[in-house]
């Protein structure tokens, strides 16, 4: 079975450029999560969707960040303009019925490693 | 307020020795509890979880964890460490049935030859 697929795996970009990270969740999963991982702050939830609808975006750091989920099999996280402090690993994850129903397992992608110089 | 606390950002054990990674949570209601593992350059994967029922939970790769309500703990153990266990381990909790999962800061496990 294909897991959560993220692209690109690695991205190096210059400050001020737009960055788009992509995610394909596991087929049949109806919840999707975007996390950011840094040494300083650990794993942070940025936003999550249920049935393509954003449920909680309180973790999105600022207006430079936006996320969309146009259909059940695709999501994007966009940073515009990017800054050096955005350098991190960004993980997409998916699950059935969100996190609260029977403690459903969240499946993570392998991450997108972003470096902004 | 910190909902889940992992004691020790780095833990080193010798190969063959007991592994003990500590996790405590803050909650007045029974939580759902998870341990995830992250190998280098990979995403997180579920080791084990507790939702209801038996408080001793067995996971993959010989790991297990015990939910102790009186101690608000969910420590992860493995009787004998292997070199392949070197990774970062995350404890996670869902405090309310309608809430999102909260991850701890992680504990990096080092295995000494």
Q: pLDDT of B46-90, one tens digit each?
A: 999 998 888 999 999 999 999 999 999 999 999 999 999 999 999
> Alpha-carbon distance A80 to A16, whole Å?
7
> Alpha-carbon distance A85 to A35, whole Å?
15
Contact list, A99 vs chain B (CB under 8 Å): 94, 99-101
Judged by CB atoms closer than 8 Å, whether chains meet at B43 and A42 is answered as: no
Does B99 have pLDDT greater than 80?
no
Helices (H) and strands (E) in chain B, counts: 0, 11
CA distance A31 to chain B (A): 11
CA angle B55, B60, B61 (to 5 degrees): 120
> Alpha-carbon distance B68 to B63, whole Å?
17
> Alpha-carbon distance B1 to B78, whole Å?
30
Contact list, A93 vs chain B (CB under 8 Å): 43-44
Q: How confident is the model at residue A99 (pLDDT cuts 50, 70, 90)?
A: low
Does B95 have pLDDT greater than 90?
no
Count of CB atoms within 10 A of residue A54's CB? 14
- What confidence tens digit (pLDDT) does each residue in A75-94 have? 999 999 999 999 999 999 99
What integer is the mean pLDDT of B2-31? 90
Does A40 have pLDDT greater than 90?
no
Cβ contacts of A54 within 8 Å, gap of 6 or more: A47, A48, A67, A69
- What confidence tens digit (pLDDT) does each residue in A6-38 have? 999 999 999 999 999 999 999 999 889 999 999
């Amino acid at each position: 079975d294909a897991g959560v697929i993220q692209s690109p795996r690695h991205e190096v970009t210059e400050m001020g450029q737009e960055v788009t990270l992509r995610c394909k969740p596991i087929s049949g999963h109806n919840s999707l999560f975007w996390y950011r991982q840094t040494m300083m702050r650990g794993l942070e939830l940025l936003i999550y969707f249920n049935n393509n609808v954003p449920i909680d975006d309180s973790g999105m750091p600022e207006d430079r960040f936006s996320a969309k989920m146009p259909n059940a099999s695709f999501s994007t996280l966009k940073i515009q303009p990017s800054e050096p402090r955005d350098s991190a690993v960004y993980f997409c994850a998916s699950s059935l019925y969100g996190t609260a129903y029977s403690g459903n397992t969240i499946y993570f992608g392998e991450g997108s490693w972003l470096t902004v110089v | 307020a910190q909902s889940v606390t992992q004691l020790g950002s780095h833990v080193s054990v010798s190969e063959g020795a007991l592994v003990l990674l500590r996790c405590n949570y803050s909650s007045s209601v029974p939580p759902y509890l998870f341990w995830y593992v992250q190998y280098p350059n990979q995403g997180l994967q579920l080791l084990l979880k507790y939702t209801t029922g038996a408080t001793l939970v067995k996971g993959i790769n010989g790991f297990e964890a015990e939910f102790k309500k009186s101690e608000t703990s969910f420590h992860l153990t493995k009787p004998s460490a292997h070199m392949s266990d070197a990774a970062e381990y995350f404890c996670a909790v869902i405090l309310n049935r309608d809430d999102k999962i909260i991850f701890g800061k992680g504990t990096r496990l080092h295995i000494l030859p």
